Amino acid sequence: MAKILSQKDKTFKLSYYDNILTLKILELKFDDESIDILINSLDCFHKWCQTNNTYFYSLIDLRDAHLINVHNYIYYSPQIIRYINSQETFLDKYLYGIIYIINNNTVKKILTNMISYIKLVSPVKIILKNEEVDFTFAH
């Protein structure tokens, strides 16, 4: 059973199960509070991984994210990118790979642009909502 690490209303849900950290973006817009909660939760998870020498995969599920909120996601993306880049050493060691699940190619173009600002060694894969989640690409 997945352990919910954090969630904010209908904005996001962060959970962990079977060495997969899942971030599910939901229908509501982010605000300063929800971004702080998300970053603090990720930070706690990273510290737990270091303490327990735990390696993991990451799944970022954007299927329920609304395109109408794209300006909101773009507005908050620099904070997330800064945080991820500040964790570069940790992620290079403990993160096997990331899969993003998306709904359409418009989201793929936006996401690809955002990912280009992140300094990660771990492999990244973007799949459409009807494709199978398979982390074998990360081995």
pTM score of the predicted model: 0.91
Q: Is the model's pLDDT at 139 over the cut of 80?
A: no
Q: What is the pLDDT of residues 24-71, one digit of tens each?
A: 999 889 999 999 999 999 999 999 999 999 999 999 999 988 878 888
CATH architecture, domain 3-138 = 2-Layer Sandwich (3.30)
Alpha carbons 81 and 2: distance in angstroms, whole number = 26
Distance of CA 19 to the CA centre of its chain: 14
Question: What are the two backbone dihedrals, phi and then psi, of residue 18, each rounded to the nearest 5 degrees?
Answer: 55, 45
Residue 93: predicted pLDDT: 96
- SS3 label, residue 20: strand
Question: What are the two backbone dihedrals, phi and then psi, of residue 88, each rounded to the nearest 5 degrees?
Answer: -55, -45
Q: How confident is the model at residue 1 (pLDDT cuts 50, 70, 90)?
A: low
Q: Is the model's pLDDT at 2 over the cut of 80?
A: no
Q: Which of 4-18, 38-52, 108-122 has the lowest mean pLDDT?
A: 108-122
Question: What are the two backbone dihedrals, phi and then psi, of residue 59, each rounded to the nearest 5 degrees?
Answer: -125, 120
Alpha carbons 44 and 38: distance in angstroms, whole number = 10
Mean of all residue pLDDT scores within the chain: 91
Tokens encoding 9: 């209303």
